[in-house]
Amino acid sequence: MAGSSFGTIFRITTWGESHGKGIGVVVDGCPAGIPLTEDDIQPYLDLRKPGQNRYTTKRAEADSVEILSGTFEGRTTGTPISLLVRNTDQRSRDYGSISELYRPGHADYTFDQKYGFRDYRGGGRSSGRETIGRVAAGAIAIRLLSELGVTFTTYVSAIGPVCIDRNHMDYTRIWESDLRMPDARAEERARAWLEECLQSQDSSGGTIECIAEHVPAGLGDPAFEKLDAALAKAIMSIGAVKAVEIGDGTEVSKSRGSENNDFYLENADGIPYKSTNHSGGILGGISDGSPIRIRASFKPTPSIGQPQSMLTRDGHCVTEVIHGRHDPVIVTRAAIVVEAMAALTLADHLLLNLSSKIETVKKIYGRD
């Protein structure tokens, strides 16, 4: 199966299925000398793992990461870093009843059309568990970017119809909040909405925002490798993401040029700055040094407990109920996945950019 690799220099290949022996990732192209142990990666996987609240799947996985290669004495060696997470709580029997059914909203029908077979146990390769490899690799990208002072703030900005109020933001509570919301009042309303969804055996969509700060200016490209295009592809490749926006996103279509342009001004010391950041830190496909703002919209979890009309493999429609363990909402666990994909994209572009100017190349080889 092609299409499991992402990135050009900082390149990852994820592997594994939901109900196989394990899931993992190979990270190639990571510079040598970065301090890295399992303890640097595990906290990120813990933010993604199931069972963190009553709105995530009850599948009980520790998701403990093992570094198999690519480090020596606690530092990266510049060789491929192989990371493994063993699956321990597969209950494949839960899925026996859907082996001949295509569930609505899932990859079942399309996967079978493409490959002529389907691993129906927990979604196989199309499962949300595939994102374990992304998060583990993303933790390394975040570690690399932190060496240059790049930081991330990622949170859930909406669950169903409940949106955060930007006047009530408290970024310090994001990772303590099980719904990953920076607004406590919105979180309470989101909780009530999710209870309604649970009672009616339904699920909810939501949005995630990710802000990358202190990203150097100059990352990206003016044409096919535009940084905004690369970020959109990276984040759209996460299961259940249906839209990606940069900066003011779809709102710009309602705006005037005089409102949307980010004017350059000078402060009292004569230092220029951008008065606003409608562009979300990217102009002409290249980072401008201001915060990169990304928003991802997730569809409601396709697996719901209600009876639904499904398609059988031999072409008939039947009404069935899906059994198994599922997330009533995906965004709470996916926030760290969005951050990981943003970090992987920026780390790759950071390394790609080293060849953009002869001055930089000469500096690397001590000829400046």
Ligand X SMILES: Cc1cc2nc3c(=O)[nH]c(=O)nc-3n(C[C@H](O)[C@H](O)[C@H](O)COP(=O)(O)O)c2cc1C
Distance CA 331, CA 327 (A): 9
* Minimum CB distance to ligand X, residue 331 (Å): 9
* Minimum CB distance to ligand X, residue 368 (Å): 45
Burial degree of 267 (CB within 10 A; 0-12, 13-18, 19+):
exposed
Locus of tokens 């010391």? 269
Which stretch, 90-98, 165-173, 248-256, 328-336, contacts ligand X (CB under 6 A)? 328-336
Question: Which of 292, 280, 287 minimizes the C-alpha distance to 356?
Answer: 287
Looking at the Cβ atoms of 247 and 328, the one nearer to ligand X is 328
Looking at the Cβ atoms of 22 and 31, the one nearer to ligand X is 22
Binding status of residue 228 toward ligand X by CB under 6 A: no
Q: Which amino acid is at 98?
A: I
How far is Cα of residue 359 from the mean position of the Cα atoms in its chain? 34
Among 326, 335, 341, 342, binds ligand X (CB under 6 A): 326
Helix/strand/coil percentages in the chain, nearest 5 = 35, 25, 40
| Cα radius of gyration (the chain) | 22
* Minimum CB distance to ligand X, residue 277 (Å): 28
Binding status of residue 18 toward ligand X by CB under 6 A: no
Are 59 and 50 in contact, with CB atoms under 8 Å apart?
A: yes
**Beta bridge mates, 311:** 102, 317
Structure tokens at 328: 């009533």
Q: Which amino acid is at 136?
A: A
Footprint of ligand X on residues 20-59 (CB under 6 A)? 57
Query: Counting every residue, how long is the chain?
Result: 368
By CB under 6 A, the count of residues binding ligand X is: 21
Among 71, 154, 290, 303, binds ligand X (CB under 6 A): 303
Looking at the Cβ atoms of 20 and 70, the one nearer to ligand X is 20
* Minimum CB distance to ligand X, residue 358 (Å): 42
The CA-atom distances, in angstroms, between 270 and each of 24, 291, 346 are 50, 21, 30
Among 25, 107, 159, 179, binds ligand X (CB under 6 A): 107
Looking at the Cβ atoms of 157 and 303, the one nearer to ligand X is 303
Binding status of residue 128 toward ligand X by CB under 6 A: yes
Q: Name the residue number minimizing CB distance to ligand X.
A: 128
Which residues of this chain interact with ligand X, rule CB under 6 A?
57, 106-107, 123, 126-128, 131, 238-240, 299, 301-303, 326-327, 330, 333-334, 337
